[in-house]
């Protein structure tokens, strides 16, 4: 069994159901004599407040009874009172009539000839015109219904027309609830048959020209082609044309409309004679709800406004002109500039309006019986499935590629990347090879003795003055040895200072050391132990370490001014000396200032240190010579102090070649000569490396230029 889908809530109901179980809407339209109508007639609705369904059921049952149906709970009283309306009655019930209406009606009653459209300020114009017409036609105004006794205004409306209206037959189903059959022949109203407030038929059109605007002259015609909606599965038959409004060219002059005739209670006042008959909106007892088959409502009897009458019915689709007919119509062409503005993808909805007769008649819902109704079921009531075509997109290759790329990017973002492996380090081959070569070159002469480099005999020009200064140093005054170099330079400076210390030891000079670096005293100890061990030099007697001089250049200045106060504590002070500074040692007994020393010899690897001692100590030395033992790289910085007209440095000894020559002059091989071979081969390898590097760089530059 196929289920029925409710037109209201789209819920599925059993096949035999008449009313929706979910929303109580009718599943089958009420048809006269139809099974559903009969079934509905046999199924009274109980406990339902749906007044419309009740009306329908009454119409189906054909209750001719004038007895008003029992008032149902919740049903408005005016509805029940409406059902009791008499045909002769006109106007709304007293209780329901607005006061302005009752006031407007009362003055017209005693004097129908009187026209008082403006008697009451709130009387609408149409009512005033009704009264005027009544007065003009001498129709007795209806008795003003008592306000609280008679509220059947519909019946009063129909009362004047009772004479003209034949007895109504047994009430049938209201037109609105019936399936739209063929269009009922319009009953054209006669002039004067319609109430004055309705537009008159063409015959009385002149008198009632100001009643209402004319209706369009041509009736609405349904489209000749089926209407295709976006949500339809196919062309839908257009609903049949509604039965109204009628064309004014064919006014009905046969008499009063059927609905007026079917409403005997409706009393037509005198002034309403000749007016178009408009059926009541709500059916009276025994009267159809809408004039349909009864012909109460005749489209032709309704005077259409002018604006409606001017609208011509669309011409019937005529055959395209053929060549035989001799009509040549060139298809419409757009100008080029307009054609160029046409969008590439234009949505051209094709809406084909079917002719009225092909349109489907609405079968359910409040619009049952009407044609041309937008179908609710395919859109609202029933779930729709989109066409396959609508889900298909036209994607270009480029768009597809972009979409794929975006998809990959999103996936990449979500994907957890494994930790990147550490990049494999490049092997520094050049560095390793050069290091190995240098190591071998330096180690070979010191171990194997090859290659052998001859020790220089002649030293640099600065060597002899230095040796001469050492030779002229007084032996009764100690020499101040400033050890100001880092341990890293000990390899060079111990070799360079070695022959000088040997010379000093050989002359028996007493040596006092001081340093502005924390590592200076231990380095001084190394120097003196190496130089004096063979000569039996003793700490405290032959040499003494004054210690560490903190404070940098400021401390040097302080030491230069007052050495005893600048250095509070010595280094490796012998136990026999009570003071910790060493100044009470016998070898320093006559020393209280810098000039009391026999000489100041600075061993340093930094030009700044040399400059500091030169600038701070030299002004306070007097005739005391200042000698410098320097690293090879510092010599150019210090030489100007030596070669100036008033030299502040009396002699310099710099570099391993000078030290090797000094040892030669001493006749005692020392550290300089022991490393002379390694020094020579290392320098040789460095020379080769520089030459090779320069050559390689030039070659690559030339090759790259040629390629460019």
Partner 1 sequence: MRLRASLVWAAVASGVGLIVLLGFFFDIEPLRVARQILVDWAVLLAAWALILGLLNLLSVHWSKVSQQEKGWPYSAVLLLFFLVTLILGLLFGPDSPVILFLFNNVQLPIEASLMALLAVTLTIAGFRVVTRRRDLVSLVFVGVGFLVLLGTGPWLIGSEGVLNTFFRDVRNWLAQVWAAGGARGILLGVALGAIATGLRVLLAADRPYGE
Partner 2 sequence: MGIDVFGLIALLVFVGLLLLYGVMGRRWPAVFRPMPGFEMLGRGIERAVEAGERVHLSLGTGSVPGKDCAPALAGLAVLSRVAAATTMSDKPAVVTAGDGALAILAQDTLRAAYAKVGARERYQPTAARMLGPTPFSYVAGLPTLLASEDVSIHMLIGSFGAEGALAAEFGERREAFVLAGTDDIPSQALMYATAEHPLIGEEVFAGGAYLNVGELHRASLRAQDVVRILIVGLMLAGTILRTLLDLL
Binding region for partner 2 (CB under 8 A): 428, 486-488, 517-519, 551-554, 605-608, 612, 633-634, 637
CB of 697 vs partner 1, minimal distance in Å = 3
400 binds, among partner 2, partner 1, none (CB under 5 to 8 A by kind): none
Q: Which is nearer to partner 1, 367 or 549 (CB)?
A: 549
606 binds, among partner 1, partner 2, none (CB under 5 to 8 A by kind): partner 2
Q: Which is nearer to partner 1, 248 or 498 (CB)?
A: 498
Q: Which is nearer to partner 1, 47 or 419 (CB)?
A: 419
401 binds, among partner 1, partner 2, none (CB under 5 to 8 A by kind): none
Q: Cα–chain-centroid distance for residue 184?
A: 62
For binding to partner 1 (CB under 8 A), which residues are involved?
430-431, 434-435, 438, 451, 453-458, 460, 486-491, 519, 521-522, 525-526, 550-552, 554-555, 557-558, 571-573, 632, 635-637, 639-640, 643, 655, 657, 676, 679-680, 682-687, 689-694, 696-698, 700-701
Q: Radius of gyration (Cα) for the chain, nearest Å? A: 65
CB of 411 vs partner 1, minimal distance in Å = 32
The token pair that represents 23 in the structure block: 């929303």
Pairing between β-strand 511-515 and β-strand 479-484 as defined by DSSP bridges: parallel
691 binds, among partner 2, partner 1, none (CB under 5 to 8 A by kind): partner 1
572 binds, among partner 2, partner 1, none (CB under 5 to 8 A by kind): partner 1
608 binds, among partner 1, partner 2, none (CB under 5 to 8 A by kind): partner 2
CB of 643 vs partner 2, minimal distance in Å = 15
CB of 684 vs partner 1, minimal distance in Å = 7
CB of 605 vs partner 2, minimal distance in Å = 7
Q: What is the 3-state secondary structure (H, E, C) of 475-508?
A: CCCCEEEEEECCHHHHHHHHHHHHHHHHHHHHHC
Report the C-alpha gap between 303 and 285 in whole angstroms.
27
Number of residues in the chain: 708
641 binds, among partner 1, partner 2, none (CB under 5 to 8 A by kind): none
CB of 489 vs partner 2, minimal distance in Å = 8
CB of 412 vs partner 1, minimal distance in Å = 28
Report the C-alpha gap between 581 and 304 in whole angstroms.
134
Asked if 276 contacts 302 with a C-beta cutoff of 8 angstroms, the reply is: yes
Which helix (H) or strand (E) is 13 found in, with range?
A: strand 12-13
The token pair that represents 448 in the structure block: 């194997």
Q: Which is nearer to partner 1, 144 or 547 (CB)?
A: 547
Q: Which is nearer to partner 1, 398 or 705 (CB)?
A: 705
Q: Which residues contact 370 (CB under 8 A, 6 or more apart)?
A: 180, 239, 240, 242, 361, 362
The token pair that represents 302 in the structure block: 């309704």
42 binds, among partner 2, partner 1, none (CB under 5 to 8 A by kind): none
CB of 584 vs partner 1, minimal distance in Å = 18
Q: Which is nearer to partner 1, 430 or 475 (CB)?
A: 430
451 binds, among partner 2, partner 1, none (CB under 5 to 8 A by kind): partner 1
Which helix (H) or strand (E) is 339 found in, with range?
A: helix 336-340
Bond into 416 cis (ω within 30): no
SS3 699: helix
Phi and psi angles of residue 464, each rounded to the nearest 5 degrees, phi first: -60, -45
Q: Cα–chain-centroid distance for residue 223?
A: 48
Q: Which is nearer to partner 2, 270 or 628 (CB)?
A: 628
CB of 517 vs partner 1, minimal distance in Å = 12
Q: Which is nearer to partner 1, 400 or 696 (CB)?
A: 696
Q: Which is nearer to partner 1, 163 or 525 (CB)?
A: 525
Helices (H), 282-423: 306-310, 336-340, 397-414
> What is the residue whose two structure tokens read 């009764």?
476
Q: Which is nearer to partner 2, 272 or 483 (CB)?
A: 483
23 binds, among partner 1, partner 2, none (CB under 5 to 8 A by kind): none
Report the C-alpha gap between 494 and 675 in whole angstroms.
12
**CA geometry: angle 290, 294, 297, nearest 5 deg:** 50
Helices (H), 311-421: 336-340, 397-414
Which helix (H) or strand (E) is 220 found in, with range?
A: none
435 binds, among partner 2, partner 1, none (CB under 5 to 8 A by kind): partner 1
DSSP designation for 65: -
Q: Which is nearer to partner 1, 220 or 453 (CB)?
A: 453
395 binds, among partner 2, partner 1, none (CB under 5 to 8 A by kind): none
CB of 681 vs partner 1, minimal distance in Å = 9
Asked if 653 contacts 496 with a C-beta cutoff of 8 angstroms, the reply is: yes
- How many angstroms separate the Cα of 384 from the Cα of each of 7, 13, 302, 378? 14, 18, 41, 6
230 binds, among partner 1, partner 2, none (CB under 5 to 8 A by kind): none
CB of 577 vs partner 1, minimal distance in Å = 13
- How many angstroms separate the Cα of 622 from the Cα of each of 504, 518, 588, 617? 22, 28, 19, 10
CB of 385 vs partner 2, minimal distance in Å = 53
565 binds, among partner 2, partner 1, none (CB under 5 to 8 A by kind): none
CB of 472 vs partner 1, minimal distance in Å = 25
Q: Which is nearer to partner 2, 200 or 516 (CB)?
A: 516
The token pair that represents 629 in the structure block: 């033992």
Q: Which is nearer to partner 1, 61 or 530 (CB)?
A: 530
CB of 398 vs partner 2, minimal distance in Å = 32
The token pair that represents 304 in the structure block: 């259409």
**Residue from 463, 465, 460, 522 nearest 494 by CA:** 522
DSSP designation for 194: S
Asked if 179 contacts 368 with a C-beta cutoff of 8 angstroms, the reply is: yes
Q: Which is nearer to partner 1, 259 or 489 (CB)?
A: 489
Report the C-alpha gap between 262 and 168 in whole angstroms.
4
């Amino acid at each position: 069994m196929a289920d029925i889908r409710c037109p209201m809530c789209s819920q599925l109901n059993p096949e035999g159901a008449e009313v929706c179980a979910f929303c109580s809407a009718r599943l089958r339209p009420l048809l006269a004599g139809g099974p559903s109508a009969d079934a509905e007639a046999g199924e009274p609705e109980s406990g339902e407040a749906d007044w419309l369904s009740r009306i329908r059921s009454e119409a189906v049952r054909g209750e001719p009874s004038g007895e008003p149906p029992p008032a149902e709970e919740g049903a408005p009283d005016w509805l029940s009172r409406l059902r009791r309306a008499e045909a002769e009655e006109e106007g709304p019930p007293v209780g329901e009539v607005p006061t302005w209406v009752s006031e407007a009606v009362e003055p017209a009653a005693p004097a129908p000839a009187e026209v008082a459209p403006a008697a009451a300020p709130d009387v609408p114009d149409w009512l005033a015109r009704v009264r005027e017409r009544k007065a003009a036609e001498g129709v007795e105004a209806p008795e003003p219904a008592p306000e609280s006794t008679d509220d059947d205004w519909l019946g009063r409306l129909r009362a004047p027309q009772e004479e003209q209206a034949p007895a109504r037959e047994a009430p049938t189903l209201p037109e609105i609830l019936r399936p739209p059959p063929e269009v009922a022949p319009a009953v054209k109203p006669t002039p004067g048959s319609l109430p004055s407030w309705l537009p008159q038929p063409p015959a009385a059109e002149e008198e009632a020209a100001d009643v209402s605007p004319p209706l369009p002259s041509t009736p609405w015609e349904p489209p000749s082609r089926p209407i295709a909606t976006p949500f339809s599965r196919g062309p839908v038959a257009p609903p049949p044309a509604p039965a109204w409004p009628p064309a004014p060219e064919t006014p009905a002059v046969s008499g009063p409309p059927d609905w007026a005739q079917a409403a005997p209670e409706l009393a037509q006042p005198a002034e309403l004679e000749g007016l178009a008959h408009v059926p009541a909106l709500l059916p009276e007892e025994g009267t159809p709800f809408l004039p349909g088959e009864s012909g109460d409502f005749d489209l032709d009897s309704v005077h259409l406004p002018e604006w409606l009458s001017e609208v011509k019915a669309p011409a019937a689709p005529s055959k395209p002109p053929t060549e035989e007919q001799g009509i040549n119509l060139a298809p419409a062409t757009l100008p080029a500039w307009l054609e160029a503005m046409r969008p590439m993808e234009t949505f051209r909805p094709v809406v084909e309006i079917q002719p009225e007769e092909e349109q489907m008649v609405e079968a359910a819902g409040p619009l049952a019986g009407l044609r041309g109704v937008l179908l609710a079921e395919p859109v609202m009531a029933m779930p729709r499935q989109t066409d396959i075509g609508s889900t298909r997109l036209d994607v270009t290759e480029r768009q597809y590629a972009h979409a794929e790329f975006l998809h990959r990017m999103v996936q990449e973002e979500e994907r957890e990347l494994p930790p990147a492996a550490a990049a494999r380090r490049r092997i520094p081959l050049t560095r390793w090879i050069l290091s190995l070569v240098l190591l071998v070159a330096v180690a070979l002469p010191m171990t194997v003795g090859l290659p052998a480099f001859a020790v220089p005999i002649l030293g640099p020009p600065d060597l002899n003055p230095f040796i001469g200064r050492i030779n002229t140093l007084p032996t009764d005054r100690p020499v101040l040895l400033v050890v100001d170099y880092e341990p890293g330079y000990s390899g060079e400076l111990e070799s360079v200072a070695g022959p000088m210390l040997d010379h000093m030891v050989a002359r028996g000079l007493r040596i006092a050391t001081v340093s502005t670096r924390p590592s200076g005293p231990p380095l001084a100890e190394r120097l003196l132990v190496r130089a004096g061990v063979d000569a039996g030099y003793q700490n405290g007697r032959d040499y003494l370490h004054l210690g560490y001089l903190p404070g940098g250049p400021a401390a040097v200045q302080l030491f230069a001014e007052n050495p005893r106060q600048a250095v509070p504590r010595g280094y490796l002070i012998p136990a026999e000396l009570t003071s910790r500074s060493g100044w009470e040692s016998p070898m320093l007994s006559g020393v209280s200032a810098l000039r009391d020393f026999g000489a100041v010899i600075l061993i340093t690897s930094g030009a700044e240190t040399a400059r500091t001692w030169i600038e701070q100590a030299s002004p306070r030395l007097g005739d005391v010579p200042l000698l410098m033992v320097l690293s090879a790289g510092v010599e150019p910085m210090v030489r100007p102090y030596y070669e100036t007209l008033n030299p502040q440095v009396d002699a310099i000894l710099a570099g391993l070649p000078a030290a090797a020559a000094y040892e030669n002059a001493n006749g005692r091989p020392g550290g300089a000569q022991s490393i002379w071979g390694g020094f020579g081969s290392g320098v040789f390898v460095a020379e080769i490396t520089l030459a090779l590097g320069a050559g390689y760089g030039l070659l690559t530059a030339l090759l790259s230029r040629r390629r460019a």
